[in-house]
Amino acid sequence: MNLASESRRNPISLNSRTRLITIRLTAAEYDTLRAVCLSEGARSVSDYTRHCILRHVTNNEAVAPSLGDDLRTVSARLTNLRQVIRECNENIEKILGVSQTDSVVS
């Protein structure tokens, strides 16, 4: 999605925007959003956010998430959990003085 090319095709909206939605973000969330906006060529954080929300709603993703999306989310969380368990195991081994070869859990 390149918003810069989209805004050149239709630089002025014919519909006046009169409604306002307010959301709160952490500083980190805002920084991430702003960085993505810049990389996508959006005119502003507001334009990019509007574009994403409307695309999400018009694709019916908000109403009916796909099973594939759910499975990808579960898979990503399991991958993160494996990493956390691996790190915990390494820390426990360091504390107990157990070497990798002596460890039963891998």
Confidence at residue 64, expressed as pLDDT on a 0 to 100 scale: 59
Confidence at residue 30, expressed as pLDDT on a 0 to 100 scale: 93
Using the predicted structure, report yes or no on whether residue 101 has a pLDDT greater than 80. Answer: no
Instruction: List CB contacts of 69: < 8 A, sequence separation 6 or more.
Output: 61
Which carries the bigger pLDDT value, residue 24 or residue 70? 24
- Evaluated on CA atoms 83, 85, 86, 87, the torsion sign reads positive
Neighbours of 37 (CB within 10 A): 20
pLDDT band at residue 31 under the 50/70/90 scheme: very high
Write out pLDDT tens, residues 36-94: 988 888 899 999 999 888 888 887 654 555 667 778 888 889 999 999 999 999 999 98
